[in-house]
Structure 1
Amino acid sequence: MLISASRRTDIPACYPQWFLRRMREGFVLAPNPRNPRQLSRISLSKEEAEGIVFWTKNPLPLLPYLDELKDFGIPFGFQFTITPYDRDIEPNLPDKEALIKAFCGLSERLGPKKMVWRYDPVILSADWTVKRHLKAFSEMAKRLQGHTGRCVFSLMDWYRKLSPAGKALAEHGWTDEEIKDVAEGFSSIARDRGMALSACCEAPKFDRWDVTREACISEGFAEAVIGAPVCGRKDPGQRASCGCIQSADIGVYDSCTNGCLYCYANTSRQVILQNTANHHPDSPTLIGYPEPEATVVPRKLPSIKAAQMKFPFNNKE
């Protein structure tokens, strides 16, 4: 099975020590988001965990542990978000120069196929115009050229779980002309830098331009991460329009301290403060300790490895 660490919070940025302890102990207890007293016991042993996908805006706190992490024998890759926003939107992130250097360093250690750059979300506002985004995207793509073959982007949407500040960012609607300018411009820039530009849930909006519909955790990305052919089923825990293959997420909502205004995984600053104060690096759960009345159910997903090797039709490939 594939481990997702995590769509719900930034584990590399906020909880690297906890994660390494879970790796050493070989399992994690992940609460059901709808029923926190129902815990899934998810194995982190190399016999069951075939790969790990880290979702992060800041891997710097995890970097000192990379050698130990590699020693566990479970391959891993990154969905790494780097956007150009200032601290009025992303208040707790390091400067972008440090993040770009971290991306390039990870690519050199792991290989560019295990690195996906996420320019996500594209916020349209009086400050962040299409023209400004095109300039920022071009500058970042130039820096990341050769360190990834793929960029995922999405337009800022109105999520039910967005904070009031996040909803304010999403109030500016997108005209057809603005969508065209972003998709066409990003696509041209990415192509010139040797990157495929893709969108997951929003891909139908961009059918007229060179934007591929490829899931964030696609079979291709999973194959690059684990180094073997993959045949995974669609993840039933994601939106209907999401094409990602199934993975076991080990995170908890309302626990990320990056503070990004557009975040859909945080709903209340007060809840975040309560949760982070209740984090214990020695606990098998990310927040708090398992309650005595909690129900623990082993969760073992099917292997994502294909039963048979895939062979290209063209033997030159």
Structure 2
Amino acid sequence: MRVVSVSRRTDIPAFYSQWLINRIRAGYACSRNPFNPRQISTVILQPDKVACLVFWSKDPRPLLPHLDELIQRRFRMLFHTTITALPEFLEPHVPASDVVCSAVRQLAKRLGPEKLIWRFDPIVLGRDFSVEQTLGRFERLAAELAGAVQSVRISFLQRYAQVTARLRNISGIDDLDALACHGKIPNVVSDTAAGLSEIAEKHGLKVFSCAERFDLAPWGIAPGRCLDPQLFEKLFNLRLDPRKDPGQRPACCCMRSVDLGMYGTCRHGCLYCYAATDRVLGAAVHDPESPLLFGSFRGKKGQGELFA
């Protein structure tokens, strides 16, 4: 049995829910290797073959009409929902936070809050993004989500090359790595971590970091595993291989999973996203009836060419 990520590479619940439910009904999907597009793997999507469907989304609403069918088919499910309430220029096509919070509360009523994880990620700090403003947003969202989630994952903005390129004309955002001195955590990071921990405790939330390069343990924030074999055992009585996924970032603690998504297909347009690409593929190459999220097969089986 394998954990299936839906998806770290793109927002399938927000933009491709119909494709997903079509693949669920067919019992399989095909996924391209992002580093070798000619390599295509078949992912069996049957409840007895899937340990858990793990959804990653900034807008799970389009998936809600299909929730009954997924439950009836006896799929185990876990939802990671990112809600940051950052300014629109950083998240140009992300719905308003109150709308997404409402969707999370609907999911909690159906699945239970133990199967929902809130992501306050990334945390952007700087002249125009003060510690006080950040904690204010976190406090408001924590209050809105009270009772609907039990834990929250956080991480501070990391300036990967493509992220730096998108932010080059935007001032007022700190380069936190540049502020770190001889391994010392910047004051804005420590002040934020302390405040987040206090607010989370106030609202009954456990807070964990996600692939974070700063050690936040002094503020009660331990490294988290977004794909956590201990959580799967607790929720579903499953004992899965706990080894770290070697294909993820070095600081990521997650176990292995198979991902159905494809880079360059998310339409949220978030400037800070390390997984985003500057060229977003259009709907013309997405067929909801195709085994592949984008493109189709041509030539020998398993040798499909990109966007044939």
TM-score normalised by the chain length of structure 2? 0.90
Give the superposition deviation at 1:47.
2.1
Aligned partners of 1:163 and 1:261 also within 8 Å: no
Which position in structure 2 is the counterpart of 1:260?
270
Out of 175, 189, 199, the residue aligned to residue 173 of structure 1 is 175
Give the superposition deviation at 1:279.
0.4
Question: Is 1:19 the counterpart of 2:29 in the alignment?
Answer: no
Shift in alpha-carbon separation, 1:53–1:288, aligned structure 2, 3 A: same
Aligned partners of 1:159 and 1:167 also within 8 Å: no
Give the superposition deviation at 1:218.
1.4
Question: Is 1:232 the counterpart of 2:242 in the alignment?
Answer: yes
Shift in alpha-carbon separation, 1:39–1:225, aligned structure 2, 3 A: farther
How many residues in Structure 1 have an aligned counterpart in Structure 2? Answer: 294
1:158-169 aligned within 5 A: 158-162=159-163, 164-166=165-167
Shift in alpha-carbon separation, 1:260–1:198, aligned structure 2, 3 A: same
* Aligned-partner Cα distance in 1 for 2:67–2:83: 20
* Aligned-partner Cα distance in 2 for 1:120–1:224: 25
Aligned partners of 1:232 and 1:245 also within 8 Å: yes
Which residue identity lines up with residue 291 of structure 1 in the other structure?
Answer: R
1:16-165 aligned within 5 A: 16-162=17-163, 164-165=165-166
Shift in alpha-carbon separation, 1:204–1:278, aligned structure 2, 3 A: same
Aligned partners of 1:169 and 1:262 also within 8 Å: no
Which position in structure 2 is the counterpart of 1:273?
281
The gaps in structure 1 that reach 5 residues or longer are 298-317
Which residue identity lines up with residue 28 of structure 1 in the other structure?
Answer: A
Shift in alpha-carbon separation, 1:169–1:193, aligned structure 2, 3 A: farther
* Aligned-partner Cα distance in 2 for 1:127–1:17: 39
Which position in structure 2 is the counterpart of 1:202?
212
TM-score normalised by the chain length of structure 1? 0.87
Shift in alpha-carbon separation, 1:94–1:210, aligned structure 2, 3 A: same
> What is the percent sequence identity of the aligned residues?
36
Shift in alpha-carbon separation, 1:157–1:203, aligned structure 2, 3 A: closer
* Root-mean-square deviation (Å): 2.0
Out of 283, 295, 299, the residue aligned to residue 292 of structure 1 is 299
Give the superposition deviation at 1:204.
4.6
Give the superposition deviation at 1:45.
0.9
* Aligned-partner Cα distance in 2 for 1:226–1:169: 45
The gaps in structure 2 that reach 5 residues or longer are 180-185
